[in-house]
Structure 1
Amino acid sequence: MLVFYNLGVRCYYFFIKLASLFNNKARLFISGRKNLLSELKNAIGDNHSPITWFHAASLGEFEQGLPVMEAYKAMSPASKILVTFFSPSGFEERKNHPTADFTFYLPIDTPSNAKEFFDIVKPIKVFFIKYEYWFHYLNEAHRRSIPLYSVSALFTPSHIFFKSHGAFHRRMLGFFDHTFVQNDSSLQLLKSIGIEKASISGDSRFDRVLKTIANPQQYQSIERFKGDDLLMVIGSAWASDMQVLNGFINNSKGLKLIIAPHLIDEGSVQKIYLGLEKRVHRYSESEHIPDNTEVLILDTMGMLSSVYQYGEFAYIGGAFGDGLHNILEAVAFGLPVVFGNEGLEKFPESITLQELGGAFSVSTAAESSEILTKLKGDSAFRGNASSICKKFIEDNRGATEHIIGYLKAQTK
């Protein structure tokens, strides 16, 4: 099986390299790995401080692991933190984040790359956040007896680990010294395949959003744009989301809207415009928002998590294609959330919050208009859903404390 895994990794790299001829994300993936190990060696240089390595697939996983990184740094101030990313969307957005002392792409998973990586970095601990299991890196940490942890892991029966043909992937799970899972069902799945070194920590994203709402960035221009009107925020929108929203948006009166496209390249932003019949302003063109603006396109990075503070309810995109994006940033501010109905089993928070009454999934434009009209017009209904959302966040805090508590106990 290892032969096929190695072949698959090399084939994947070949096709990404081919795609880089016409796709910018693929181009960044390839160019970011050019002379990567040499650059890593030069950056670390004569560092004599212990290094702890955190790996995140992309931006969402980084945000999920950030509370753990910050708490770990507070616990071990002498340590330096290396963060690696697989995806350009994570690396490009967070390559200058102050929590990380070193930030790099993860070299392609080959035996020689993994060995050289560990020879250069010499990490004292390794953390993989939520997803991504790279055999040679995990095996190298295990072979060198370096403590290896999985943070905020989430498993479902559909994952290959729990299939009859998943022995090779189960072997990777066995490399971890401890796996911190989000919920009991994940823990029971691990136990069913003999993985006992695991515990329920919860999801560290709850700790992350609680920190955001405690001290959100203020935007006076958006506060003026909202005025005394109700405001709906559409976060991480794709064209497929707009297809079920345009009818409600165009027919709604007395409501301001902020739409944050998931991708902010010109082509993607233009797709958000299609079907809109309202007066639209793009934030990137000017922070001075004209008085007659009805829809603000937030075509910037890094603002959305704080902008939710100005809204009364939200729609979160992605569930009709790429996968539902982070609903917790909106929910933490007490915004009831609406989203598509596809692939939600991968996002247990979306299912639980629906059961509680703080979130609502839709499959059609008609369903979207119905629930959004109710949220807009029924203040009691909206207020009750908002209270549910706030309580949901508060009830699920503490993942970071659990993880750090475990690590402290291991050092005694």
Structure 2
Amino acid sequence: MPHGDIAAAGDGRPRRASRRAGGPRVKIELAVYNALLPAAGLAARIAAVWNGKIAEGLAGRRGLRERWLAGASRLERRSPLAWFHVSSVGEFEQAKPVMSLLAERPGGVEIALTFFSPSGMSYYERFDRSKRIEAISFVDYLPVDTPGNARFCLDALRPDLLVYVKFDIWPNIVLEAAKRGVPQALVAGTLSPGSLRLSRIARGFYGGLYSRLGAIAAISEEDAERFRRGVSGGVEITVAGDTRFDQVCRRIDTSTARPPGAVAAAGRSWIVAGSTWPKDEALVVSGFRSLRKERRGTGLILVPHEPSVERLAEIRRTLASAGLPFRPLSSLGDDPPGEDEVVVADGVGYLAELYRAGRIAYVGGSLTTGVHNVMEPAVLSLPVFFGPRIANSYEARRLVDLGAAKIVRTGADFAREALALLADPDLLARTGETGSRFIRKHCGAAPRCVDLLETLLAGKR
């Protein structure tokens, strides 16, 4: 069952796993897990010498207990406290529509938010324009998952509800919260066919953890069935859908951002290449150079995934080798770019408004590790191009199946597909509308998740 075909079980009702979970086996495996934590901490400190992300995560956790106590003391506690834990940026994006909607319901909630990854914390603190969800009163890293830290976190926050997103559950937190009777849920839950959590070695342990949750809201029927196979207790398992669709629709529908005036005033048919890496830029620039010979009114905007000084210099060299001038977005002001200039976003946070200026989008990552977010340009009715690495993205594969997206492997592919669309305005419009309808059809997961969470909260009161 694809992500968007929302149902609970075959008979329309949420299913529960058949057996109560794990006593002795969970205890044995938990003891092994806890015994390995000091070695894992030592390995992290060693790896931090050459791994900047690990070093950032360790640095961010210095003084964590003091920050937690100070932050917890500032909680208003005039409404139930929902603690949302996310791993990183992607899970945070999935959590946002659930947090927002839960806070908007009658009575509301106060929200505590924790991250595991420094990428998530950095994104929230520096780049996230919607971080002012008013109900969020506490934000920090999650401490290392030791039994003592689990007790500390629950003592400090005293949550009425604990919500995990996607797959990031932590054994000591789960078990300590269950011991205290704190309702827990997993939303946007996924469990891949090859997950180690379904293996013979880990299945009993994780089945015991999942059974301590009050509800699991899976993104698809396939994921729900895997949870049912892996869980050995009485947790309610239902299919709610993927909240990423809700977040994209909500962000587009509520945003007041518009394309920079100089870009809009240029009067071009803009192709916006978002979240690009060097291989993406080489393909797009090559294709654009060929396309311009046929369509002189076409313009290109490059939005690199990481607009560092080094990456911007690399893009400048790529454009120079193709005979194309480089124009930083920040330099435009009210002055439209020249006819031959390629606009390059030299900061973060511009992609959504730049997509609004586009006629066609290219989404990067698809020539290397996997395509980035294709939903944002699709919901804006832009036909979407990307490379062949799309196994990580259900929505990219479906957009291809529907004809709303094209896989391009070379610059020649890019030029040919873009020319066909730009030469036929009706085809361009139909292709974009097909993609937008697909994204809109899949919205609605967040209200289903919130209904489950409210049921858990009602049982707590």
The reply to whether TM is greater than 0.5 is: yes
Cross-structure match for 2:446: 400
Displacement of 1:74 in angstroms is 1.6
In 1, Cα distance between equivalents of 2:228 and 2:51: 42
Cα offsets for 1:266-304 (capped at 9, x unmatched): 223333334223222222455455531632222322221
Q: How does 1:77-96 map to 2 (within 5 A)?
A: 77=107, 79-95=109-125
Cross-structure match for 2:14: none
Name which structure has the greater RCO, CA cutoff 8 Å, separation 6+. 2
Displacement of 1:243 in angstroms is 3.4
Instruction: Please identify the structure whose Cα radius of gyration is greater.
Output: 2
Cα offsets for 1:120-142 (capped at 9, x unmatched): 11111111122323222222222
Cα offsets for 1:369-395 (capped at 9, x unmatched): 443443344433322211111111221
One of 374, 377, 402 as aligned partner of 1:330: 377
In 1, Cα distance between equivalents of 2:403 and 2:35: 47
One of 352, 368, 379 as aligned partner of 1:305: 352
- Give 5+ residue unaligned stretches, structure 2: 1-28
The runs of at least 4 consecutive aligned structure 1 residues that moved more than 6 Å come to none
Contact 2:262/2:332 (<8 A) preserved = no
- Give 5+ residue unaligned stretches, structure 1: none
Q: How does 1:196-235 map to 2 (within 5 A)?
A: 197-219=236-258, 221-222=260-261, 224-225=263-264, 227-235=266-274
Cross-structure match for 1:279: 325
In 2, Cα distance between equivalents of 1:10 and 1:299: 42
Name whichever of 357-366 and 325-334 sits farther off: 357-366
Query: For the structure 1 residues 217 and 238, does the alpha-carbon distance in structure 2 shift closer, same or farther, using more than 3 Å as the test?
Result: farther
Query: For the structure 1 residues 101 and 362, does the alpha-carbon distance in structure 2 shift closer, same or farther, using more than 3 Å as the test?
Result: same
Task: Describe the SS at the equivalent of 2:246.
Answer: helix
One of 335, 341, 350 as aligned partner of 2:396: 350
One of 43, 57, 64 as aligned partner of 1:36: 64
In 2, Cα distance between equivalents of 1:60 and 1:307: 21
Contact 1:259/1:295 (<8 A) preserved = yes
Q: Could you state the TM-score of these two structures normalised by the residue count of structure 2?
A: 0.81
Query: For the structure 1 residues 297 and 10, does the alpha-carbon distance in structure 2 shift closer, same or farther, using more than 3 Å as the test?
Result: farther
In 2, Cα distance between equivalents of 1:287 and 1:166: 57
- Provide the alpha-carbon RMSD of the alignment: 2.6
Identity %: 26
Contact 1:283/1:289 (<8 A) preserved = no
Q: Could you state the TM-score of these two structures normalised by the residue count of structure 1?
A: 0.90
In 1, Cα distance between equivalents of 2:34 and 2:406: 42
Query: For the structure 1 residues 220 and 72, does the alpha-carbon distance in structure 2 shift closer, same or farther, using more than 3 Å as the test?
Result: closer
Query: For the structure 1 residues 281 and 395, does the alpha-carbon distance in structure 2 shift closer, same or farther, using more than 3 Å as the test?
Result: same
Cross-structure match for 1:249: 288
Cross-structure match for 2:217: 180
Residue 308 of structure 2 aligns to which amino acid in structure 1?
A: D
Contact 1:95/1:104 (<8 A) preserved = no
In 2, Cα distance between equivalents of 1:80 and 1:216: 24
Cα offsets for 1:302-345 (capped at 9, x unmatched): 22123211111111122333432221111110112122322x34
Task: Describe the SS at the equivalent of 2:85.
Answer: strand
In 2, Cα distance between equivalents of 1:113 and 1:298: 42
Name whichever of 110-119 and 19-28 sits farther off: 19-28
Determine if the alignment matches structure 1 residue 258 to structure 2 residue 301.
yes
Displacement of 1:157 in angstroms is 0.7
Say how many residue pairs are matched. Answer: 411
Query: For the structure 1 residues 310 and 52, does the alpha-carbon distance in structure 2 shift closer, same or farther, using more than 3 Å as the test?
Result: same
In 2, Cα distance between equivalents of 1:77 and 1:101: 16
Query: For the structure 1 residues 31 and 193, does the alpha-carbon distance in structure 2 shift closer, same or farther, using more than 3 Å as the test?
Result: closer
Task: Describe the SS at the equivalent of 2:356.
Answer: helix
Cross-structure match for 2:95: 65
